[in-house]
Structures are given as C-alpha cells and as structure tokens.
Chain A
Amino acid sequence: MATATDTTGSRRRWRRYVGSYVFLLPNFLGFLAFTLMPVAAAFALSFTEWGVLDQPRFVGLRNFDKLVWFHREGAGVVANDPYFWKYLWNTVFLMFGIPLSVVGSLFCALLLNQRLRGVVFFRTLLFLPAICSAVAVTLLWKWIFQEDYGLLNAWLRAVGFTDPPGWLVSTTWAKPAFIIMGLWMTVGGYNCVLYLAGLQNIPTELYEAAEVDGANSWHKLRYVTWPMLAPTTFFIVTMAIIAGFQGGFIAAYMMTGGGPAGATTTIMLYLYQNAFQWFQMGYAAAIACVLFGLIFGFTLLNWRLSQRAGHYQ
C-alpha cells in the first residue's frame, strides 16, 4: 500500500520535472548555443591562429603576447602591437566623458524633480536623444561637426572664432567631438530617469531633519541627496564603464572610419576590423578576452571603492 503511493507520488513528481524542463527547454537551448558555448569558444579561440578559411591552429599565449606585451628594441622597450595601446588610450579618453555625463544627469534629475510647470514636457524632450537611432544621430552630428558648413562652426564663427577647429578631421578635436556627442545622447536619458527615481525615493523627513539642523541647500545636496543616491550612482557608473570599454563603434564607423590617423579608433572598432575585415579570428578573440578582463577588473574596482565609501541604503 505504502509502496504504491510512493510510486504514484514519484511518478507525478517525475512528470512535473519533465513539465518544468519542457518550459525551460527552448530558452535553455538558445542560451546554450548563443551564450554559454560561445563564451567558452571565445576563450578557446583566443589561443589559436585562425583565418577562417584554414583550420584553427593552437598557438598558446602568442596572441596575448603579440597584443599586450613588449619587446626590446635598441635601448628602449616597444609594444608588440602599438596600435592596441593607442586604441586603448582612445577608448579611455572617450570614457573621460563619463563623469561629466553622470554629473549632468544628476543635475538634470535635480531640475526635473522641482515642482515646475511643464516639467513633463522637459522630461520627454531631454529623453529624446537617448531613444533615437544611434546611426541617425551620428549622421546628424557629423553634419553639425562638418568643418566648413557645420552648424557648430557657423556659431563659433558668429561669436568671433575666425578659425574654428576641424573637429572630425582634426587629430586633436575628433575625440572631444565624440565626447560632446556622447554627452548630448546620454545626459538626459536613462541615467537621468534612474536618478529621478532615486531622488523621489529619498524620504522627505531627512531633508526636514537637515533643515532643523540648519542645513542650507548645498549641505542638503552634499550630505543627504548625494549619499542617498550612492547605490544609483554605483549602478550608473558600472554600466557606463561596461558600455565605455565597448563603446565608440557606431560613431567611429559612421563619422570618421576610425581616423584621422587612428585618432578615433576604439578597441571595439579594432576588434571588428581584426575579426570581420582582416579575418584574424584568433587575434580578435584575444582582444575580446582582454576587453572582458578590463571590464571585469574595473567593475570590481568600482565595487570595492563604493564599498569603502559606504552605502547608505
């Protein structure tokens, strides 16, 4: 009797398991084929030399040696792949826009959090650039940055700069131009909405208590708002770093082709060129792995720093 119940019970349980796996199956197969296996394959590929047409050949750490290591040349030490370091510097340079963007988003959120008429209109307007197709937006900015006929230089000439920079055709100004466009795209966008939500979750009592203690607006911002937004800031900065290391592709591809003289080629464009224009799959996979390492390292660092600063929530 007891055994009979056991078998029907286990059979029912077994049928439930099968049901669960059926629910999971479509997603899991896709996950396996397009995420899990590719991640493993990327690491494996980075140890090979592969030109797509021939067979992949195991070369050990040679790709990484070629990519990030140095060799002696005469008296000095030279990078094995100077382009990698140059493009890494370009990528990091573009990421200098992140602090500006974060502060700008907070500023916008503080403004949008005021009791002002028409604030919904402004919120929509500020968000628009974030939603627009990035390709269309880069084309638009290419036109604005155009040396002779662009809107920006027309304005600069109008206020007295007789010889404004060539922006996208100048090795000095191309990267700042990218940052300006990036700021326009991100300041009022996702980060601003996240800050806005964070602001509205700060209990009013905290401000009232601060007022009782004689705090002025700056004190309230510095000692109430900013610490209370620490988790939001951490999230925003982390996501910005992850995106930043993989960034610059659309802008470089559409506006400059990575030029002038490689001034706007980012790691992501270099990876694309290696993989899909020069068909050096192994080398490109090594770049992807290094990029992953950088992203992982900086995320960890950011996490540690914010831990030390202390979360208030």
Chain B
Amino acid sequence: MTTRGIAELLGSQGQRPRRRRRARPREVLARALAYVALCAIGFAMAVPLAWMLATSLKDPTQVLVSHDKWLPMRQVMGKYGPMDGARIEYGPVYEARLDGVEIRGLEIGRAPGARRLRVLDPTDMRGRIVTVPADATRPVERLHLEWQNYARAWQAIKVEFAFGGLLRDADAFLVFYINSIIVAVAVTLGQVATSSLAAYAFARLRFPGRDGLFLGYLATLMVPAVITMIPVYILLSRLRLTDTYWALILPAMFSAYGTFMLRQFFLTVPRDLEDAARIDGASLFGIYWNIILPLSKPALATLTIFVFLHTWNDFMWPLIVIDSLNLKTLPIGLAHFQGPYLTEWHLLMAASVIVMVPVLIVFVAGQRYFVRGIILSGMKA
C-alpha cells in the first residue's frame, strides 16, 4: 500500500486529480446512475438502523399495533370540563364523520360496536354526547418520542457491582458499562504495552533465537481462535479465574497480531535518531520510550482503536467465562436482557442503541486511524 493511496483515501475527496473538461452526456448519465445505486445501497444500510431508533422511541402500546408505521405516534389524550360542579372528563381523542360533519371528541364510554364521544369540535356541537360506530372513528395521533423507554431499559434489572459495597442495587446497564470499560481499557493498555515491547525487540534488537521465535509468532497467526478456546478455558478454571475480570483481561492482553503489526511499523522508523540517542548513552528502554513510541503514534492509535472495539464487541469469550450477572459486559448483558424481555421490542431496541452508542463515538472520532488500520493490516475488530 503506497502512502499516496492512503493519503487519497483519507482525503476529503479522496479521488484522482480532477481533469478540467466538459463532461460528455454519457458520463453525466453514468454519474447519475452511480448516484442512484449509491443512494439505493445507502438506503438499504440506513433503514434497519433507523427502524431500531424508531422502535426504541415508540409508545409501548403502539409497538405491535402500528408495527408497519415509521413515526412513533401516540393517540392524543383530551379533557373536557369542568362542567358546572361536575368532574373533568379525560379520554382518548377520536375523529369521526357524523351526518356529513367532521367531529372530534373524547371517548367517554362504549356501546356494542360503537364509541360514545363527548364532542369537542366543532364549537356549536361542543359538549354534546354522540354515539358513533367504532369503525367510523379514527384515533387522533401526534408524534410522541417515548424517551422513557431508554430509562426503563437502563433500570430494568438491578444488580450489585462486583466491588462489594460500592454500588449496591445499581442499574444493570450501568454495571455492564463499567465492566465493559474496565475490561476494554485493561486489555487495550495491556496489549499495546506488551506488543510494543516485544515488537521493539523483534524489530531492532539482535539476540539468539530471534528469527525462529518470530516465525513461531507468525505461524500462530494462522491458527483460528477456536483452537485455543477450550484449553484456555480449562487453564483459567484450574487457576480459579473463571467468572472474574481476569478471565476477560488476561488471555486478551497478549497478541501475536499486535506484535506483528507494530514490528512492521517499527521497521520503518529511521535508525539515525536511535543511533544518536545510543551515542548519547540512552538505555534500551529510554530509546523505546522516548524515540520509538512517539514516532509510532499512528500505528499505536490504530492498534488501540482496533483492540478497544474488538474487546468492547466481543461476545463469545465473555459468554464462556462469565456467569455472574454483575460481571457481564455489555454484549452478554444485552443477551441476558433478551431473555425476560423477549417481546418488548421497544425496550430491546433501546438497550441495543445504548450498547451501540459508544462504539459509534469511538468510530467517528478515530475514523482516520481506522481506515488506515484496515488497509495496513486487514484487521477486523
């Protein structure tokens, strides 16, 4: 991958230099077609996400009833009165057509197959009670965003935070969030630290067995994760570390992939600075800390983002090693949430949005490094 390619890819336009000439009609047509295709694909990508957002904001009573409607609507509630000394009447508002006149009224009672409405509109009929066949009435609806769904999903389960006494009776999603942050930060720090140290040794130091060892690292890159899963689980359970943070952090802290990627980058750092520092009497660690790391910020940023996102979204490993509810990370917390709330789609969608938001923020903030990382290493989070 040349730097030119990357620079162009990252540039706002990211395209080949413009040639100034009048576009031919065929080119205009081609471009229009490309736009249409792009919009169609973009639409297909956006629809499910928009649907998730729409469902998460619907009134609980409306989720199934108006399952084919996009906008979160809710029937307007009205009131009438007070009439001389009588109490105020509350009720859902309906529209109906009565003897050629459009009326609006509160439902104050039901008759078989009909609704009894207290007329609000038009004014000359205000206060009268009419009986209208139910199928001639239409509910009056208004856009209503049910933000409460988010609060309800957030507070649906109560757990006690693992560090006893610190957060008793806490909202489960808060605890899931804290767990996810603890694990993701620890894994990211650990992996960047151990990988960069080893990568420096592989890239710049000479010692017996270096190349053989590096080959061993490379070979394990080809071994799928599924192979190591069972033995690592057994090892951790023998150490009595399953169902602790350590089970999530420890095995993920060391990666051949990170070491490989950083080594490739360190090889491109010019040697001159390092030699100069050595002549000035800098120690190995001093060179690593003061020269190599600062010059490798882009690679470190890329690794950081990928490791963080991968850890944040990881599902299978936490599912295997974590049992306690108060140790669950967000993805397996969400899976647990699915159980008792299977049909409450508005809550499930709200919870899904809650889980997704931080990832989207990290993505938007680090998009530059992200794109570069994919190109440099073909890594997947």
Residues of A at the B interface (CB closer than 8 Å) are: 16-17, 19-21, 23-24, 26-31, 33-39, 41-42, 45, 52, 107-108, 111-116, 119-120, 122, 124-126, 128-129, 131-137, 139-141, 143-144, 146, 149-151, 154, 158, 184, 187-188, 190, 193-194, 196-197, 200-201, 204, 217, 235, 239, 242-243, 245-246, 249-250, 253-254, 268, 271-272, 275-276, 281, 284-285, 288-289, 291-292, 295-296, 299
Please measure, in the bound complex, the distance between the C-alpha atom of A196 and the C-alpha atom of B15, giving whole angstroms.
10
B side interface size, CB within 8 A: 105
A139 to chain B minimum Cβ distance, whole angstroms, is 5
| A272-B254 in contact given A34-B232, A131-B381, A292-B226 (Cβ < 8 Å) | no
Name the prevailing secondary structure of the B interface residues. helix
30 interchain pairs, CB-CB under 8 A: A26-B254, A27-B254, A35-B256, A42-B227, A52-B234, A111-B37, A113-B15, A125-B45, A128-B363, A129-B45, A129-B49, A133-B313, A133-B352, A135-B315, A135-B335, A135-B355, A136-B331, A137-B352, A139-B352, A143-B348, A144-B48, A149-B63, A149-B64, A184-B45, A193-B375, A197-B1, A204-B16, A249-B316, A268-B226, A285-B230
Q: Would B1 and A201 count as touching, CB distance under 8 A?
A: yes
Is B240's CB within 8 Å of the partner chain A?
A: no
Which chain B residues border A292 with CB–CB below 8 Å?
223-224, 226-227
Name the prevailing secondary structure of the A interface residues. helix
Q: Which of B67, B229, B363 contacts A288 (CB 8 A)?
A: B229
| A196-B9 in contact given A131-B381, A133-B356 (Cβ < 8 Å) | yes
Q: Would B349 and A23 count as touching, CB distance under 8 A?
A: no
Please measure, in the bound complex, the distance between the C-alpha atom of A140 and the C-alpha atom of B353, giving whole angstroms.
10
Which chain B residues border A111 with CB–CB below 8 Å?
34, 37-38, 41
Q: Would B313 and A20 count as touching, CB distance under 8 A?
A: no
Q: Would B230 and A136 count as touching, CB distance under 8 A?
A: no
Q: Give B342-356 interface residues, CB cut-off 8 Å to A.
A: 345, 348-349, 351-353, 355-356
| A42-B231 in contact given A17-B208, A136-B334, A154-B68 (Cβ < 8 Å) | yes
Q: Would A122 and B288 count as touching, CB distance under 8 A?
A: no
A299 to chain B minimum Cβ distance, whole angstroms, is 8
Which chain A residues border B223 with CB–CB below 8 Å?
35, 39, 292
Other than the given A119-B13, A281-B234, 7 more pairs (CB < 8 A) read A20-B206, A112-B38, A125-B45, A140-B49, A149-B345, A151-B51, A275-B230
Identify the interface centre among A113, A143, A281: most chain B CB within 10 Å of its CB.
A143
Residues of B at the A interface (CB closer than 8 Å) are: 1-2, 5-6, 8-9, 12-16, 18, 30-31, 34-35, 37-38, 41-42, 44-49, 51-52, 55, 63-64, 67-68, 193-195, 197-198, 200-202, 205-208, 210, 213, 216-217, 220, 222-235, 237, 250-251, 253-254, 256, 259, 284, 288, 309, 312-313, 315-316, 319-320, 330-332, 334-335, 338, 345, 348-349, 351-353, 355-356, 359-360, 363-364, 367, 371, 374-375, 378, 380-381
Please measure, in the bound complex, the distance between the C-alpha atom of A239 and the C-alpha atom of B288, giving whole angstroms.
33
Q: Would B48 and A27 count as touching, CB distance under 8 A?
A: no
Q: Would A20 and B201 count as touching, CB distance under 8 A?
A: yes
Q: Would B226 and A37 count as touching, CB distance under 8 A?
A: no
The 9 A-B pairs at the shortest CB distance, nearest first, are namely A30-B254, A27-B198, A38-B231, A136-B352, A154-B68, A41-B231, A149-B67, A38-B228, A23-B201
Q: Would B284 and A115 count as touching, CB distance under 8 A?
A: no
